Amino acid sequence: MHAVTDGKAAAASGVPHAEALVAFAEAALGRDAVALEQARSRVAAELGVEALVDAAAVVANFQRMVRIADSTGIPLDAPLEMLSQDVREELDLGRFAAAANTPEPSGWRRLAGPVLRRLFRTVFRGVAWIRSRSKRPDRGATEDSC
């Protein structure tokens, strides 16, 4: 998870060429033209020109979305705020200016977040287990019923 916000953690993420991609994203959002040119060259050399174009499109799209959200002052809604509190703290997302749009959670929300996260994980695991069982050919489906 830290590979998204920490270029040094990117190498351990298991994502191929993560270091080059993170360096490119950081340079694209910065103001250093030399660093950007070096990052572009690295991505093109390691992944190819088509991948460089794709990476630039992804960076541009995220930048567009963030600017729209920041300019309109969109806060996180209450459910997302509760469910994402631990991730936002671990990644220290409060250091970004846009975090000011989302107020600190109230006491009950801060307490409810961990409980709801555990509940949702359990529910999602249950759904995944049910789906995996229903896809097995020996579990009721026959050639005649398909």
Q: In this prediction, what percent of the chain has a pLDDT beyond 90?
A: 25
pTM of the complete model = 0.56
Residue 46 has pLDDT above 90, yes or no: yes
Residue 3 CB coordination number (10 Å): 18
Phi, psi (5° rounding) for residue 136?
Answer: -70, 135
77 residue type, one letter: D
Instruction: Give the domain range for residue 60.
Output: 1-74
Q: What pLDDT does residue 139 have?
A: 52
Q: What is the mean pLDDT of residues 45-51?
A: 97
Question: Cα(110)–Cα(85) distance, rounded to whole angstroms?
Answer: 8
- Output the six-digit token pair for 132: 């995996």
- In this structure, the answer to whether residues 1 and 55 fall within a common structural domain is yes
* Final residue of a structural domain among 54, 74, 94: 74
- In this structure, the answer to whether residues 67 and 3 fall within a common structural domain is yes
pLDDT digits (tens, 9 = 90+) for 53-103: 999 999 999 888 888 877 777 777 777 777 788 888 888 888 877 777 777
- In this structure, the answer to whether residues 86 and 32 fall within a common structural domain is no
- Output the six-digit token pair for 83: 């469910």
Residue 81 CB coordination number (10 Å): 19
Q: Do the domain assignments include residue 82?
A: yes
Residue 141 has pLDDT above 60, yes or no: no
